Structure 1
Amino acid sequence: MQQYFIFSGLFLFFEHIIHISGTWKFYKKLGVKSWKIFIPVYNIFILLKIYKRSIWWIFLLFIPLSSIMLIFILWMDLIYTFLKKTKKNVFLFFLSAGLYIYYVNFFKKIQLLNIEHIKKKEDNIGILLAVIFSFITHTYIVQPFVIPTSSMEKTLLVGDFILVSKIHYGLRMPMSPLSIPFTHNKIMGDVKSYISIFQWPYFRFPSIQPVKRNDIVVFNFPKDYNHKIIDRKDHYIKRCVGLPGDLIFIKKGILFVNNKKERSFFGKQQAYFVKTGNYPLNIEYLKNKMDIEDIEYIGERNDEYFYQIMLNEKSAVQIKNIFKNIVFIKKYILPIYFKERYIYNSNWNRDFFGPLHIPKKGEFIKLNSKNIHIYHEIFAYEKVKNLVSKKYYKIKNDYYFMMGDNRHNSSDSRYWGFVPENHIVGKPIFIWMSIDWDRDRPLNMFNWKFRWNRIMRTIDGEHSYLSLFFLFSFSYLIYFLFKSEK
């Protein structure tokens, strides 16, 4: 915590120097005494008072990116007050991202021209303020995401638009504060949307609730090597099946946590091997009537048709009852001797995994030839060197084990290992929109279908607020029409 606020203080001081360097002559022309100009924060307060802006704006100064927006607004005020509002001056100011003010401050004679600008109150900045407010909400409270893959079906579907709370598990302060608002790590292609020179240390506020077993969690992908700063790594969403200190293993595709079999739930899917006789499955019926998307046609032999389909147990029973030509339908479980490629431990596979202990902060792990390769990534996260001479290692952070609900179609902790606590982003709380689109051509809007039964619904599916949304929209429309008529 102390380190984080030291970094923030240094950034604020650096920003103060930049502001004063480019505006001291403007302050003097406004009649501000020299000693007041150089007092941090107070000099911003002076401009807010001169331009009759709300004093509450001062709080924007303490958030790195919003502080830049605040200073930019004040620089606009100064430019429009002391220079003629010509196309050239406006163009140069915006083209230089505000740095044109330095040229004016050092090389041009300025005089108070636009007194009316000072008398105006809160003029022409409503949209900018809305952007700042949205940015703060997006960064510090709740952030929207869209589900791009089927790794969490049927709990979360491709095309679900969700809201993720950043405060449930404790607000993690930004580690890369300088970035383009409302972007994550890229603008387009490989062009990064953030400046990596300024990197803050990890700091998280106390949580409203801890991460619980079986919570759905959004986190930064630990193995994203394209982005070194943690909060700029790609976002993943999975179910947390293992907490710090847990022992997990998978046997015949069934997960056991602390030697207890996981509870069954509707959303869990696995691969089923399906064989039909005489004629193939009605794929169109499966997709349109049963919402089953992951269907792989394997081939045909002697009028027998073979498929691999991702199903939950309920759908498997329904298919068997609906299609009378099914010869058999059974779970596709890899044999114990099969060594799956890219798995976390080369001796395991997706259906026979572990046992594996999940490290917990403060505990000691005895190192030996059998486990040192398993915990190798943790040593990398915690920047540990020279392990050869150590028999025990004290874990510095809590770690979590994540799995997708679509168990046989999910890249998760079985393949890339543990998720450190500092990679946790937040808790999904709400589905505000859900669109069923063509997965091969998602941008083809003519094929979009709204999933009305999922819109404005909580993640667990227990509560729907769609009717309240329509009531609010109708009330707002009536108010708007009444106001217009008036």
Structure 2
Amino acid sequence: MTLQSILGNFALILFVLMVVTGIIWVLDLVVLSKQRRAAADKALADYDARTAKLTADGIKLDSNTASRSQIEAALLRQPTWIEYSGSFFPVIALVFCLRSFLYEPFKIPSSSMVPTLLVGDLILVNKFTYGIRLPIINQKIVQLNDPQRGDVMVFKYPMDMSQDYIKRVVGVPGDKITYENKKLTVNGKPISYAAQDDYLDDESLVYKKQFKENLSGVEHRILNDDRAPTLNYGDVRDFPNKEACTYSSEGFTCVVPAGNYFMMGDNRDNSADSRYWGFVPDKNIVGKAVAVWMNLSNPRRIGAIH
């Protein structure tokens, strides 16, 4: 694992911080606090003995001498590094558990899912709907639901596991996916498309054809660029199970292998997806995108993902 991938893995950083602060917190609770208490008890016993002797000798205590409570408080006070560790540990542990097992925030970095998701959208990803996985290693330990066609899913990019990608599930295991002339056919059944008003792409300032696609009952909008070919075959890479796909000048057909999923971006002609780098194994799944919780430049974006 490279330094860049470690720094980019926020879950790993949180885990390390949680372990370090947790060890310090437990060490203080079990050992260090008792040592401070023993040192304080000894100092107080010495203080009491000294005070008693001075009183017996008729000597009045100096008003500048620290009181018994001040001595005790000073000796029982936690060192700064222990105090901060004890304060941060529960917060870090809570955040780590929430991000690992419930919901994790992500930021949309590219326009591959326009118009469903825009650059700058801050989204919430449900981490448990597809099963409970161990953090860091992403190993599934409890099977729950399987991804369905139409789901918007976050996953580890098969070509670089340090990167998180987000696309729409188009094919599930066993599906036969055909994409020709910019239209999908799943298991021999053409997907229905309803024309919408043209969409102005904020990046290129070009109008693109917009359609409402109905993918197994999930309606969502997609974009097509008349200037772009159905498939840039020169960009297709070698990938596992590539023999399950056949390519032509009009498009391609793929049969999704067991334990894998076929992903496509809603901005069909501006998305590097399964058409070019292959299938997404179940082990790469991060979770299901469920909502936009903030977009700093457009607060009206807040809401559920369709």
TM-score, scaled relative to structure 2:
0.66
Q: Does 2:35 correspond to 1:82?
A: yes
CA contact (8 A) 1:142 1:165 kept: yes
Please say if residues 81 and 115 of structure 1, whose CA atoms lie closer than 8 Å, have aligned partners that are also in contact: no
User: Which residue of 1 is the match for residue 178 of structure 2?
Assistant: 249
Q: Is 1:234 aligned to residue 166 of structure 2?
A: no
**Is 1:71 aligned to 2:59, yes or no?**
no
Distance 2:90 2:134 in 1: 22
Q: Indicate if the aligned counterparts of 2:262 and 2:274 stay in contact, CA closer than 8 A.
A: yes
Q: Deviations over 1:425-471 (max 9, x none)?
A: 10111211013xxxxxxxxxxxxx3x23212x1112xxxxxxxxxxx
Q: CA offsets, 1:206-261, max 9 Å, x none? A: 21x3211111000000111xxxxx5xx21000000000000011111101111112
Q: Kindly tell me: are residues 81 and 237 of structure 1, through their superposed partners in 2, closer, same or farther at Cα, counting changes over 3 Å?
A: same
Return the offset for 1:68.
Answer: 4.2
Structure 1 residue 330 displacement after superposition? 8.0
Give the AA of the match of 1:334: P
- Please give the alpha-carbon distance, in whole angstroms, between the structure 2 residues aligned to 1:204 and 1:409: 35
Q: In structure 1, how many angstroms separate the alpha carbons of the residues matched to 2:133 and 2:194?
A: 31
Q: Is the 8 A contact 1:294 1:310 kept in 2?
A: no
1:431 aligns with 2:292: yes
- Indicate conservation of the 8 Å contact 1:253/1:333, yes or no: no
2:247 corresponds in structure 1 to 348
CA distance in 2, matches of 1:206, 1:265: 36
Amino acid at match of 1:295: S
Q: Output the CA distance in 2 between the equivalents of 1:64 and 1:126.
A: 16
State the structure with bigger RCO (CA 8 A, min sep 6), 1 or 2. Answer: 2
Distance 1:149 1:64, change over 3 A: closer
Task: Give the CA deviation at 1:347.
Answer: 7.0
SS state at 1:214 partner: coil
Aligned to 1:334: 229
**3-state SS of 2:252 partner:** strand
2:305 pairs with one of 459, 471, 475: 459
Distance 1:347 1:139, change over 3 A: closer
Matched, 1:164 2:125: yes
Structure 1 pair 347/260, CA: closer, same or farther in 2 (3 Å)? closer
C-alpha separation in 1, matches of 2:194 and 2:272: 20
For 2:177, the aligned partner's letter is I
Secondary structure, counterpart of 2:132 in structure 1: coil
What amino acid does structure 1 have at the position aligned with 2:254? L
SS at match of 2:89: helix
Deviation at 1:128, TM superposition (A): 3.4
**2:148 matched residue in structure 1:** 212
Deviations 1:3-57 (A, max 9, x none): xxxxxxxxxxxxxxxxxxxxxxxxxxxxxxxxxxxxxxxxxxxxxxxxxxxxxxx
Q: Which residue of 1 aligns with 2:201?
A: 292
Equivalent residues in 2 for 1:72-471 (5 A)?
A: 72-77=24-29, 78-79=31-32, 82=35, 116=76, 125-176=86-137, 202-207=139-144, 209-224=145-160, 233-264=162-193, 292-295=201-204, 309-313=207-211, 331-332=226-227, 334=229, 340-344=233-237, 348=247, 352-360=250-258, 398-435=259-296, 449=297, 451-455=298-302, 457-460=303-306
For 2:268 and 2:110, locate their aligned partners in 1 and report how far apart those are by CA, in whole Å.
Answer: 13
Q: 1:333 to 1:115 in 2, by over 3 A?
A: closer
Contact 2:126 2:288 in 1 (8 A): yes
> For the Cα contact (< 8 Å) 1:83–1:113, is it kept in 2?
no
Q: TM-score, normalised by structure 1?
A: 0.43
Q: Which amino acid aligns with 2:202?
A: E
SS for the counterpart of 2:233 is: coil
Structure 1, residues 248-294: CA drift from partner, whole Å, max 9, x if none?
A: 11111101111112243789x9xx9xxxxxxxxxxxxxxxxx76314
For structure 2, list consecutive stretches of 5 or more residues without a partner in the other structure: 1-14, 38-71, 213-223
| Gap runs ≥5 in structure 1 | 1-62, 85-111, 177-200, 225-229, 273-289, 297-307, 315-328, 361-397, 436-448, 461-486
**Contact kept? 2:180, 2:250, Cα under 8 Å:** yes
Q: Are the structure 2 counterparts of residues 115 and 406 from structure 1 closer, same or farther at C-alpha, using a change threshold of 3 Å? A: same
How far has the Cα of 1:131 moved from its partner?
2.2
Count residues in correspondence: 236
Q: Alignment identity in percent? A: 31
Query: 2:36·2:76 contact (CA, 8 Å) conserved in 1?
Result: no
How far residue 164 of structure 1 moved from its aligned partner, in angstroms, is 0.4
Q: CA RMSD in A?
A: 3.7
User: Could you say what secondary structure the match of 2:270 adopts?
Assistant: coil
Map Cα deviations across residues 336-375 of structure 1 (whole Å, 9 max, x no partner): xx862122579737x8332211112xxxxxxxxxxxxxxx
SS at match of 2:106: strand
- In structure 2, the CA distance between the partners of 1:134 and 1:356, relative to structure 1 (3 Å rule), is same
Amino acid at match of 1:415: Y
The structure-2 alpha-carbon separation of the partners of 1:166 and 1:146, relative to structure 1 and needing over 3 Å to count, comes to same
Conserved 8 A contact 1:252-1:333 = no
Q: How does 1:35-74 map to 2 (within 5 A)?
A: 66-74=18-26
